[in-house]
Amino acid sequence: MKKIYPTLSLMAPLLAWSGKADGKVNKPRDEKKPNVIIIYADDLGYGDLGCYGAKNVVTPHIDKLAQNGVQFMNGHATAATSTPSRYSLLTGEYAWRKPGTDIAAGDAGMIIRPEQFTMADVFKSANYTTAAFGKWHLGLGDKSGEQDWNAPLAAHLGDLGFDYSYIMAATADRVPCVFIENGKVANYDPEHPIETSYEKPFPGEPLGSTHPELLYNQKSSYGHDMAIVNGIGRIGYMRGGGKALWKDENLADSITTHAIDFIKENKDNPFFIYFATNDVHVPRFPHDRFRGKNKMGVRGDAIAQFDWSVGEILKTLKELNLEENTLIILSSDNGPVIDDGYDDQAEELLHGHKPAGPFRGMKYSAFEGGTAVPVIVSWPKEIKKGKKSEALLSQIDLMASFATLVDTKIPRGFAPDSENRLDTWLGHNEIDRPYIIQQSANHTLSVRTKEWKYIEPNEGPKIVPWAPQAETGNLLEPQLYNMADDNSEQVNVATQHPEKVFELQNILRVERKK
Ligand code: NG6
Ligand code: CA
């Protein structure tokens, strides 16, 4: 579907970004626009990287990226789970404004609609070549449950501003377990047509629940007992696939090598890459090169594999002489989780490792651990080395900040929640966002300022049923934490500071009305 944005200048002038924190405008640069790569890990926690204090796993490539750029100590995803976080990142709209943005099934219809203006469109309108790799998890095709995986999909990333895509439809634990390249199953095997269902099993196909003896690896600890693919129980039913089925141990290799090929092919023109890894999501099934190397078991191995992927991208940029003028943003879609429904010993083998660093809660949670994530930004040409920034930051602002970077306008009505904070993202200032809004798995909203955190009252279990280490943050009373002296949200001071509670509640009220 063709998008037409009359307000948009397709002849965007060359980069004219003011690189100054004080608002003074530098001379417009007429050099080549930077390449931009978002490296988006899955379920990687604030405490999971060497540069954020991890001891049990080494992440030399990422640590180097941080040393060469800015490391943010107060960066946040918009939500504590994948689909809403990614929706907000790629559209600049808080997912809680848009129904149907919860954790998506593998046969969900495409959640971002073709007529929406996306982050990829920002770059396209500035004449970049754009691509997405790896985990998508934002639906494909026109309607949920109605995809024909054996034909070109009715709607795909080509309709969202991506020139090229090589993606997993959802997650590694959801069917279909195949890569999709430009809207078609990659390595399609006509002998083995693909069918999926999230409603009923296919007669005669063994399931994790009925044939646990076929699960030779990674038994489920919760759910994940429907289709069995590569000996691993998944969410959703599937049959067929044949040669197109991915190999779990090769996921990182496939995603990384496709991205590297794209970089090589597009080295002469500015490109934008959304590089979304499967690591460190479940099922954790790292390649033999990493397996068994880390004392924390497969979760540690998967972090090392993620670091390897980053290293390969950096190596390629260096070889092609693109390192200096490539802006890289590395982050995660939500906080960490330990046991996420597979019995992979992630908990038993932690050895004192704290995936969420100092924060309370994890993935799914309204506590900070749900959304406080590593954020590293590097652009050797423009960013001073080795900076740490305490600025309060939300991924919601990347879209408008990128629009400023490439000097393009977002058409009216799109990216309503995204603000241009480019100078902060590049480490030129440390201006906090006045507040950020965070969404937990059950839609509880929190307001975070630099000093305070308010969690609205909500019902529900205290612990995520399948993730026994993950506190939800649910409480029937308002919660208020003083982040300046209690960043692990231990002491609820709501009753001592009713005026602060009121002020932050009011922010939510106003935001909800927008
Ligand atoms: C949950 C899954 C979990 C994970 C999550 C999505 C079970 C018991 N739990 O429903 O394993 O897939 O969805 O994670 O099935 S996310 O990072 O993509 O949001
Ligand atoms: Ca995730």
**pLDDT, tens digit, 9 for 90 and up, residues 418-431:** 999 999 999 999 99
Q: Which atom of ligand 1 is nearest to the CA of 135?
A: 18
- Residue 18, pLDDT > 90, answer no
Q: How many CB atoms lie within 10 A of CB 419?
A: 17
Q: Do domains 35-189+240-429 and 439-512 have the same CATH topology?
A: no
Strand partners for 388: 71
DSSP 454: E
Nearest CA to ligand 1 atom 9: 341
Please indicate whether residue 125, judged by its CB atom, sits closer than 6 Å to ligand 1. Answer: no
439-512: what CATH class?
alpha beta
Residues 6+ apart with CB under 8 A from 514: 97, 416
The pTM score is 0.95
Q: Which of 8-12, 207-211, 399-403, 488-492 has the lowest mean pLDDT?
A: 8-12
pLDDT tens-digit series, residues 269-312: 999 999 999 999 999 999 999 999 999 999 999 999 999 999 99
Contact by Cβ (8 Å): 430, 391: yes
Distance 360 CA to ligand 1 centre (A): 20
Q: How many of the other CB atoms lie within 10 Å of CB of 512?
A: 12
Annotated domain spans of the chain: 35-189+240-429, 439-512
pLDDT of residue 31: 67
State percent of the chain over pLDDT 90.
Answer: 92
Q: What is the pLDDT of residue 266?
A: 98
> For residue 19, what pLDDT is reported?
36
- Per residue in 113-141, pLDDT (tens digit) is 999 999 999 999 999 999 999 999 999 99
Tens digit of each residue's pLDDT (9 = 90 or more) over 101-114: 999 999 999 999 99
ipTM: 0.99
DSSP states of 111-176: SS-TTS--HHHHHHTTT-EEEEEEE--S--SSSTT---TTS--SS-GGGGT-SEEEEESS-TTBS-
CA–centroid distance, residue 332 to ligand 2 (Å) = 7
Query: Residue 3 has what pLDDT?
Result: 65
| 137 in contact with ligand 1, CB cutoff 6 A | yes
Q: Is the pLDDT of residue 338 over 60?
A: yes
CATH number, span 35-189+240-429: 3.40.720.10
Mean pLDDT over each residue of the chain, to the nearest integer: 94
Checking if the pLDDT of 211 tops 60, the result is: yes
CA-based end-to-end distance of the chain: 29
Question: pLDDT tens for residues 53-104?
Answer: 999 999 999 999 999 999 999 999 999 999 999 999 999 999 999 999 999 9
List CB-based neighbours of ion ligand 2 within 5 Å.
Answer: 42-43, 82, 333-334
Give pLDDT, residue 25: 39
